[in-house]
Amino acid sequence: MDNPVWMVLRGLSRGLHLAGYFSAFGAALFGAVIMPVPGLRRLAWGGFAVAVLGGAAWFWLQTADFASARSPSAVLAALPLVAEYTRFGWLTLARLALLLLAVLCAQGRRWRLAAALAGLGVLGESWLGHGAAMTGMEGWFLFACSLAHIGAAAAWLGTLPALALGLCSGVSPMVLAQRYSRLGMLCVAAILVTAFLQYLLLIGRVSAFFNTGYGEAALLKLVLFAALLTLAARNRWRLTPALPASRAALLRAILWETALGVLVLLAAGVLMQLSPPVMAAMAGMAS
Amino acid sequence: MRLSIPAVAAMLMLAATPSAFAHAYLTKSSPAAGAVVGASTSSMLLIFTEAVQPKFCTVTVTDSAGIPADTGAPQAVPGHGNELSVPVHFSRAGKYTVKWHALSVDTHKTHGTFSFSVNQ
Ligand SMILES: [Cu+2]
């Protein structure tokens, strides 16, 4: 199962899982800090469904890889072992249970509790990262970066579908856009800082963007992120001041942002299957 | 604050990287690579750069003719998530090659080999 096609499929299913997870969390967060607009609960359930679907595919493919299984029956036999004996297994199941709990809270309009529970599950993903697996100071530093990075990404990208929903509802688009832009700016700043720190620790040199798989996936993320930022800046400084006349244009831009956000997460899913260039170089030295 | 973030980043870049590793790679073992040990050796210890998942790690030991030594399943070492202990029994002297496959808690798999000798 060392086949690159399987590796990419694992990454894509992981990205899909994250996209669903983020949008369910984003729906709850939007309800808690911006406004509980109509339709948020359905959005949360939709996100949960995608998180379960992507999570199930990821779990299956990851189990096949762990157990070097070559047949569906061999994967099936290994599933309980992965669930019980690997951090990936129990953490993924626990995170999905947490999301279910969060969506149930959202169903009862307990938005803050829902956002807190889903947020915990979002951050939990960092525990599968290199920072959490490494020992020593740099492990802790990388883990902290990853927590802030994934938390900010989830708060920003995850709330985009909810914002689109809000713009379709009868709520004043000015109020929504103003409240949203503060959250957005904060998240973008956190993403930029943590992305740079992770670049220093995991990639280390510009040439690695072009000659390693990890670097290429990171570059793809960077390009998509730049496109997202362009759209977000246009929303903030061009379309928001022109509200309510620009409402349809703003909605269109946010749907584009959402689509780009999904692509960023799919690229992130693949990135997380790969070996960071800095570390790979050192591993080469060690062996 | 304006100074401290680049400063911290620069410090990390300079100071932290030499000991940083992603994935589980072997840092140390007992018997060590190239060592000569007695035939009474009954267990091996493998130490990795990251915590590993013993249920999905395999360690095999073969002599120069390719005949496997008796080995048990890799065991976790309580309190040391990055170590594996492997029961082993050598029935004759010779050079032995250890092939390990490790699964790290970060979901990535690694593998490697090393050799040592057993005398009478
Ligand atoms: Cu790894």
Amino acid B18: pLDDT: 38
Amino acid B7: pLDDT: 54
CB within 8 Å of A2: residues ≥ 6 apart: B109
Residue B16 at interface with chain A, using a CB cutoff of 8 Å: yes
Residue contact B16–A137, C-beta within 8 A: yes
- The interface pTM score, or ipTM, of the predicted complex is 0.85
Residue B104 at interface with chain A, using a CB cutoff of 8 Å: yes
Burial class (CB in 10 A: 0-12, 13-18, 19+), A168: middle
Question: Between B5, B21, B55, which is nearest A283 by CB?
Answer: B21
Amino acid B4: pLDDT: 57
Tell me the mean pLDDT in the region B95-107.
95
Q: With respect to residue A126, please indicate whether it lies within any of the assigned structural domains.
A: yes
Residue contact A138–B20, C-beta within 8 A: yes
Task: For residue B103, give Cα distances in angstroms to A54, A123, B20, B25.
Answer: 22, 22, 18, 10
Residue A253: domain span: 4-277
Report the domain count for chain A. 1
Tell me the mean pLDDT in the region B9-19.
46
Is the distance from CB of B17 to CB of A204 less than 8 angstroms? Answer: yes
**Phi-psi map region of B3: left, alpha, beta (phi>0 left; psi -120 to 50 alpha):** alpha
What CA–CA distance (Å, rounded) separates B93 from B72?
Answer: 19
Model confidence at A275, in pLDDT bands (50, 70, 90)? Answer: confident
Min Cα separation A204/chain B (Å):
8
User: What length does chain B have?
Assistant: 120
Contacts with B, A 22-61, CB within 8 Å:
none
Is the distance from CB of A172 to CB of A255 less than 8 angstroms? Answer: no
Tell me the mean pLDDT in the region A148-177.
92
As a whole-number percent, the residues of chain A with pLDDT over 70 amount to: 96
Q: With respect to residue A285, please indicate whether it lies within any of the assigned structural domains.
A: no
pLDDT digits (tens, 9 = 90+) for A40-72: 999 999 999 999 999 999 999 999 999 999 899
Q: With respect to residue A211, please indicate whether it lies within any of the assigned structural domains.
A: yes
Model confidence at A281, in pLDDT bands (50, 70, 90)? Answer: low
Query: pLDDT: is B1 or A108 the higher one?
Result: A108
Q: With respect to residue A122, please indicate whether it lies within any of the assigned structural domains.
A: yes
Instruction: Indicate whether B16 pLDDT > 70.
Output: no
Domain ranges of chain B: 22-119
Instruction: Indicate whether A147 pLDDT > 60.
Output: yes
For the domain made up of B22-119, the CATH class stated in words is mainly beta
Task: For residue A86, give Cα distances in angstroms to A80, A134, B56.
Answer: 10, 16, 8
Residue contact B106–A280, C-beta within 8 A: no
